[in-house]
Structure 1
Amino acid sequence: MVHDVDATPEAEFALRTAKRRDVRFVRLWFVDVLGLLKAVAIPISELEGALERGVGIDGSALDGTFRGLERDVIAVPDPSTFQVLPWTPDERVARVFCNIQKPDGSPSAGDSRAALDRVLAQAAELGYELQVGAEVEFFLFDQEGRPTDDGSYFDFQAQDSGSPVRRRTIEHLEGMGIPVKASHHEAAPSQHEIDLVHTDALSMADAIVTLRAAAKQVAAEHGALASFMPKPLTGAFGSGLHLHLSLFEDGENAFFDPDPLRPLSPLGSAFLAGVLAHAREFTALTNQWSNSYKRLAPGFEAPEATTWTLHGRSSLVRVPSNRPELADAARIELRSPDPGCNPYLALAAVIGAGLRGVEAAYQAPVPDEDPPTAPPLPATLNEAADALDGSELVRDLLGDRLVDAVLRNKRGELEAERATVTEYERTTLLRRL
């Protein structure tokens, strides 16, 4: 059993906030292995008990589309994440993220959030704290799946139907303590971007999940559909989830080098080298759908090989250099992830790869290396799944239970896709053959 504990200041704050805001229900949030949001709703009368003892759920809910056997686990709320949902003013509903434990109180091997927490604990043991910023791209469609505008990169349109959705989503996020840096129209028709301010990695993963929920809710209120599908339109740019990462040591950015000719410190360069060296192994996590590899196809400014650059858009990693004199600005930008990923597993794998580079003193290749001489990223989900399956690093970071659950879902997706006749096949072959 999960033992009762004295109320923490965070738990007391959650209880006080719930009473002051007259909250009636609380949704206990967690994600499955695919990063899809799951929830259990409890009446406010059960919140104190849930904070002390957790709430029992069926652990097979963590397994994604291809569920395993039922197993008893406990959803234990993290009271530091308690927030009233601003889009439920009449129902007065709050949410809190949960960690999933086994009945004996130990972390569940299938909990994505716990996997990221373990990697961050490893970083802390080395003396580092991860800071992460995120550029989250998504599309808006009408109820028939058609784009709601014909805008392009940074367009300002007085009648842009997406602007009120972006604006209202940002208001909700900031009302929940998630600061937003900027937003704008992206390159494709009806494509948008919201940029989240740097924070610790676990809070960023929570924020990405919250942003997806908020955008979908706001879009629905406007009669639209918000989609985080990586590549919803043929011939248009896909949506990315660009991650900006830096390590801090004793409150100082360990990626910063005072020499303006060096964009990263030796430690930052080793972290970068680790990300590049293990990128093929974690691509099935940063790009987990067959559709993801349509975005990574040539011609749409998405990375194809494990290269890095100071400028340009087609390398896997960009090292921003527009403010070399600012220590806090030193970072790497990973450009391969898409917003359909599980942000907990993606960040755990990427951070773990970078830390491996630091610990083993990896050497980064030269920037802008010619792609034919650099290892390519996987071109298909099947190739990415094979690389994940054989990754000693990722299995060490996440554990076999999570990796095998990801692979079970991906193999199932690939089998279903293999048996599905597409509209492209019908268009090109039905009358020709």
Structure 2
Amino acid sequence: MGKFVNSIEEFYKYCEENEVEFVDFRFTDIKGAWHHISYRLHAVSAEMLEAGLPFDGSSIDAWQPIDKSDMILKPDVPTAFLDPFTADSTIIVICDVYDIYKGQMYEKCPRSIAKRSLEYLAEADIGDVAYFGPENEFFIFDDVKFRDDVNSAYFRVDTEEGQWSSDTAYENGNMGHRPGTKGGYFPVMPTDSMVDLRAEMMLIMEEVGLEVMLGHHEVAQGQGEIGIKFGTLVEAADNVQKYKYVVKMVAHLNGKTATFMPKPLLGDNGSGMHVHQSIWKDGKNLFATMGEYGNLSKTALDYLSGIFKHAHALAALTNPSTNSYKRLIPGFEAPSILTYSSQNRSASCRIPYGASEPAVRIETRFPDSTACPYLAFSALLMAGIDGIKAGGYHMVGPMDIDLFELSLDEIREKKIPQMPHTLRESVEALIADNDFLKPVFTQEFITTYQHYQFQRQIWPDEARPTAYEFMSTYSC
């Protein structure tokens, strides 16, 4: 697994060996969505791979104005891999974005921000590598419908695994085997109906260079997860983009639809993106002190304290959708309480069991997959670095009890901080608390991002009446 090419020379050799017809250049926008432009291979010169290729930056949300729209895609050739889904042999190359007006990597390009965060880690003389291991959960449905009009709004998702399908008349009969609400963790077939689908995803993930370890049904109906190996910060974010692409495409080609929405089902568990993290220097894991609580070093605790200190602002980048906060509510294994615990999945930060020093790490459990991975990982790293540089902030913990059993009154009584409850809260926190990001995230990016969130998510969501509001207030 891993890289298929390491140089431009190897790139052309690999293309020849695989009879490549097209080169698909991809980059990531501020939301975390992939965009692409395809070139015929014969039109892609070595000079283009070195210097980059032009594109219109004004047509990408929250990027350039029309009068300064010319930008450059800078291909990162070692990221190249064959697209497993195209009819004609196509090689994908992940790109950074270059700003010709300022003569630098574009300050709103998430991948460029991620690269700068690693540079800052080294400049701060804290570490020389940061490892990130995201765990992306997803739902697979048979059908999805939604409408958003002046006088009507609704959504409906469907899966044969749904408990609501128990009396559905299917062409070949209703077999009756379903996980039920919160019943989907590890049942075998036929209750787990997605075994073959996940297997296909896992095999194709390996084709595109991901090192796959496991796959399983998750707690909710129609929910799954595939585990891949961790990587360096930028590599891990690249891998999330590849992972999501494969999951969506395999589902699509099998007549299904996959989503990484945190909370598409009422009353069942949501999907997260737990993020494992550690910092290393000179080949040594700086997060490990064997024999301490969770084998965590002071550096690790200081790093974690920075994440908790800035958690409300971080949430604007790690949980950047209004739907994110429908997952972070009590009762559905929601990691919303800001404390840490060893091997305890009810805390917002779990310290996974690690029998050896290299395995010691922290796992933040509140992020979700609506996050742009480059921005989320960079923000977590910057908050952690701030905690290390400050010598540690006050935080509550460790707490080894089942935090899901605590009432709201008990949480308040124990003065345990919580994640924000809405996207508005998190974005307003980002406006008030962003100095920790500024060595890497520019003020222009932060301003653009918060305006984008208000205009595209917060205000539109707050303006819309919902079906539940009709139920609760129509007859008042």
TM-score in terms of structure 1 length: 0.92
After superposition, the Cα gap between the structure-2 partners of 1:262 and 1:207, relative to the gap in structure 1 and judged at 3 Å, is closer
Q: Out of 381, 384, 389, which is 1:359 matched to? A: 389
Q: Distance in 1 between matches of 2:160 and 2:70?
A: 44
1:417 aligns with 461
Contact preservation (8 Å) 1:78, 1:96 = yes
Q: Distance in 1 between matches of 2:293 and 2:136?
A: 30
2:213 aligns with 181
After superposition, the Cα gap between the structure-2 partners of 1:9 and 1:318, relative to the gap in structure 1 and judged at 3 Å, is closer
1:380 aligns with 422
Deviations 1:73-102 (A, max 9, x none): 1011100100001222x3111111101002
Contact preservation (8 Å) 1:32, 1:61 = no
Report the Cα offset of residue 9 of structure 1. 4.9
| Structure 2 residue 371 is matched with structure 1 residue 341 | yes
Deviations 1:29-86 (A, max 9, x none): 111101011111111112224302211112234435x875452110111001000012
CA RMSD of aligned residues (A): 2.0
Deviations 1:114-152 (A, max 9, x none): 001101111123233111112110000012421242431
1:212 aligns with 244
2:104 aligns with 106
Q: Distance in 2 between matches of 1:93 and 1:107?
A: 27
Deviations 1:362-382 (A, max 9, x none): 156331297431332111000
2:70 aligns with 72
| Structure 2 residue 285 is matched with structure 1 residue 253 | yes
2:159 aligns with 147
Q: Secondary structure at the match of 1:397?
A: coil
After superposition, the Cα gap between the structure-2 partners of 1:315 and 1:62, relative to the gap in structure 1 and judged at 3 Å, is farther
Amino acid at match of 1:121: E
Q: Distance in 2 between matches of 1:395 and 1:161?
A: 47
Deviations 1:169-209 (A, max 9, x none): 11111111111221110000000011121111101000001
Q: Secondary structure at the match of 2:189?
A: coil
Q: After the TM superposition, which residues 91-240 of structure 1 pair with which residues of structure 2 at under 5 Å, given as runs?
A: 91-103=88-100, 105-125=103-123, 126=125, 127-144=127-144, 145-149=157-161, 150-151=178-179, 152-158=184-190, 160-240=192-272
Amino acid at match of 1:11: I
Q: Secondary structure at the match of 1:119?
A: helix
Q: Distance in 2 between matches of 1:175 and 1:353?
A: 35
- If you compute each CA radius of gyration, which structure gives the higher value, 1 or 2? 2
1:21 aligns with 18
Report the Cα offset of residue 273 of structure 1. 1.3
Amino acid at match of 2:319: N
| Structure 2 residue 83 is matched with structure 1 residue 85 | yes
After superposition, the Cα gap between the structure-2 partners of 1:360 and 1:239, relative to the gap in structure 1 and judged at 3 Å, is same
Q: Distance in 2 between matches of 1:285 and 1:9?
A: 32
1:407 aligns with 450
Contact preservation (8 Å) 2:306, 2:386 = yes
TM-score in terms of structure 2 length: 0.84
Deviations 1:376-411 (A, max 9, x none): 211100000101112221244311222222212210
Q: Distance in 1 between matches of 2:229 and 2:358?
A: 13
Q: Distance in 1 between matches of 2:323 and 2:337?
A: 18
Contact preservation (8 Å) 1:62, 1:111 = no
Amino acid at match of 2:399: D
After superposition, the Cα gap between the structure-2 partners of 1:411 and 1:199, relative to the gap in structure 1 and judged at 3 Å, is same
2:358 aligns with 328
- Any gaps of 5 or more consecutive residues in structure 1? 1-7
Q: Distance in 2 between matches of 1:396 and 1:249?
A: 21
2:347 aligns with 315
Q: Secondary structure at the match of 1:357?
A: helix
Select between 140-149 and 34-43 the one with higher mean Cα deviation.
Answer: 140-149
Report the Cα offset of residue 164 of structure 1. 2.1
Q: Out of 55, 58, 61, which is 1:60 matched to? A: 58
Contact preservation (8 Å) 2:315, 2:426 = yes
After superposition, the Cα gap between the structure-2 partners of 1:74 and 1:356, relative to the gap in structure 1 and judged at 3 Å, is same
Q: Secondary structure at the match of 2:24?
A: strand
Q: Percent identity?
A: 31
Q: How many residues align?
A: 421
Amino acid at match of 2:136: V
Select between 332-341 and 194-203 the one with higher mean Cα deviation.
Answer: 194-203
Amino acid at match of 2:41: I
1:264 aligns with 296
Q: After the TM superposition, which residues 32-51 of structure 1 pair with which residues of structure 2 at under 5 Å, given as runs?
A: 32-48=29-45, 49-51=47-49
Q: Secondary structure at the match of 2:25?
A: strand
Q: Distance in 2 between matches of 1:248 and 1:172?
A: 31
2:154 aligns with none
Report the Cα offset of residue 109 of structure 1. 1.3
Q: Distance in 2 between matches of 1:293 and 1:350?
A: 18
Select between 250-259 and 181-190 the one with higher mean Cα deviation.
Answer: 250-259
Contact preservation (8 Å) 1:153, 1:185 = yes
1:5 aligns with none
Contact preservation (8 Å) 1:116, 1:202 = yes
Amino acid at match of 1:377: M
